[in-house]
Structure 1
Amino acid sequence: MNLTDFNTLTFDCYGTLIDWETGIFEGLRPLLERVKPPLTRDQVLEAHARHESSQQKYTPARRYRDLLPIVYKRLAEEWQVPFTLADCVAYGRSVQNWPAFDDSAAALQYLKKYYKLVILSNVDNESFAHSNAKLQVEFDAIFTAEDVGSYKPSPRNFDYMLEKLGERGIAKDKILHTAESLFHDHKPANGFGLASCWIYRRHGQEGFGATMNPGLQPKVDFRFDSMADLVKAHQDALLQK
């Protein structure tokens, strides 16, 4: 299997292209300043993953920017610190401030020359529009949790994406699903027989950060530590053709 075997890259966004762990941690800073004793970054991210995953299960049709305020409330209650509704709402809107990884925009602009680029993301459309501006590329299709009415790892999201891409003549065996999260992306991608590329942003760190533990390690066909490494591997593959 080679990177040049595919004509479409389907991307998770948050954690893969957008540095959501930094965005989450900075967005929660006003709350974290009131937590005693202080929590480590990974303690914060793991608690966030737990409450976010739970809330997505119970309210799958809620838009992400309206789901995050509930996560904020659950965290404040768990850590026993005061909060206001305004605090919760502000956190829900913080996605627009989450930064792109330094290599994302340039990598996407390069890959756009060779592939159709598609987003499959656990986000709402308004929040993604802000992130898309940071990524500086026009995607060929954007499928959000708001569009589908559920959140990955639900198979509904992958069913929806494959149906819509199939209507455009894009065969499943020409799709490479490219993502950081083993829980949200690679495990369900395995269930659909999709080839997958792991962008392992958390390499060198322990645990799963802002994503849940996937349990049994899913199969991945390619692994790179960054989008820049993916680009380099594609350039090398072209030279070998």
Structure 2
Amino acid sequence: MAGFRALTFDVVGTLIDFETGILDGVRAQGVTTPDEQVLAGFAAAEDLQQQLTPELPFTQMLDPISRRMGLPEPAALRASITTWPAFPDAPGALARLHRGHRLVAFTNADRAATAAFARTLGDPFDDVVTVDDVRVNKPDPQFFAWGLARLDAAGIGREEVLHVAQSRYHDIGTAHRLGLATCWVERRRGRAGTGATPAPAAAVEPDLHVADLAELTGLLGVPA
């Protein structure tokens, strides 16, 4: 599948392994609740927080999310965000994809966290769109419209853009409704539930469906 000039990426959950980051941060507080229960609790708390403060970056949502989860150190999870790891396939695949595409981060994180994520990923992005810029979180279509306007200013139309994300709640549905081609990276393939990501109100069929970015590079015909 060729023809895309730009790839826009959700970052947290797609490129950065936020479930590992969350579990490490929770375990460091001495919490022994089973992993899937912790992740489901995070998803429920985030879903509510998204509705209450849609303008707040994900980074700043972590404190109230932690309080709703009953964590003993509510600020600890936010403090750990810059240490969350990349998925092992992400840095190398992004470097390969960058050879023939403009890469843009579309993230609900703030600029400081996004800068740390970019360093972890090998600084692959040509541009970054954060909640600090747009003042609203995905899945709000205003976020995507703002990012697409930046791409349009760079001479790239939405028909030349593939949006890549693991979250059907935050990304795939809205991107699809706006006419973007979408790629769902199913990071939890083979595991039940949606983990730390809230479940979408309705499932949307993506244009591409992969387990990781290595699979995506193959579908796009990117050489190793």
Q: Normalising to structure 2: TM-score of the pair?
A: 0.94
- 1:49 Cα deviation after fit: 1.1
**Could you tell me how far apart the structure 2 residues matched to 1:46 and 1:176 are?**
29
Q: Which residue of 1 aligns with 2:204?
A: 218
- 1:119 Cα deviation after fit: 0.5
**Could you tell me how far apart the structure 1 residues matched to 2:47 and 2:149 are?**
25
**Could you tell me how far apart the structure 2 residues matched to 1:193 and 1:138 are?**
25
CA deviations 1:126-157 (Å, max 9, x no partner) are 01111111100331110012221111111111
CA deviations 1:41-71 (Å, max 9, x no partner) are 1211111011112212212233333221111
**Could you tell me how far apart the structure 1 residues matched to 2:123 and 2:57 are?**
24
- 1:158 Cα deviation after fit: 0.8
Q: Which residue of 2 aligns with 1:28?
A: 26
CA deviations 1:179-231 (Å, max 9, x no partner) are 11111110111110110011111100011111111132102011111111112
Q: Which residue of 2 aligns with 1:232?
A: 218
Deviating more after overlay: 155-164 vs 118-127: 155-164
3-state SS in 2 of match to 1:28: helix
CA deviations 1:19-58 (Å, max 9, x no partner) are 0111111111144x34xxx532121111101111221221
**Could you tell me how far apart the structure 1 residues matched to 2:173 and 2:57 are?**
23
* Equivalent residues of 1:66, 1:89 under 8 A apart: no
1:44 matched to 2:38: yes
Q: Which residue of 1 aligns with 2:96?
A: 110
Letter of the 1:51 counterpart: A
**Could you tell me how far apart the structure 1 residues matched to 2:59 and 2:171 are?**
20
User: Which residue of 116, 120, 127 maps to 2:113?
Assistant: 127
- 1:167 Cα deviation after fit: 1.7
Q: Report the count of equivalent residues.
A: 223
Q: Which residue of 2 aligns with 1:64?
A: 58
Larger Rg: 1
Task: Calculate percent identity across the aligned residue pairs.
Answer: 35
Deviating more after overlay: 62-71 vs 16-25: 62-71
CA deviations 1:71-121 (Å, max 9, x no partner) are 111111xxxx6x3xxx22222121101000111000000000010000101
* Equivalent residues of 2:56, 2:137 under 8 A apart: no
**Could you tell me how far apart the structure 2 residues matched to 1:89 and 1:48 are?**
14
**Could you tell me how far apart the structure 2 residues matched to 1:66 and 1:112 are?**
30
**Could you tell me how far apart the structure 1 residues matched to 2:124 and 2:91 are?**
11
**Could you tell me how far apart the structure 2 residues matched to 1:202 and 1:138 are?**
24
3-state SS in 2 of match to 1:9: strand
* Equivalent residues of 1:27, 1:94 under 8 A apart: yes
**Could you tell me how far apart the structure 2 residues matched to 1:5 and 1:235 are?**
11
3-state SS in 1 of match to 2:75: helix
* Equivalent residues of 2:43, 2:198 under 8 A apart: yes
3-state SS in 2 of match to 1:136: coil
Q: Normalising to structure 1: TM-score of the pair?
A: 0.87
Task: Go from structure 1 to structure 2 and tell me whether the alpha carbon gap of 1:194 and 1:21 turns closer, same or farther (over 3 Å shift).
Answer: same
* Structure number with higher helix proportion: 1
1:95 matched to 2:93: no
**Could you tell me how far apart the structure 2 residues matched to 1:181 and 1:195 are?**
15
Q: Which runs of 5+ in 2 are unaligned?
A: none
User: Which residue of 147, 153, 178 maps to 1:167?
Assistant: 153
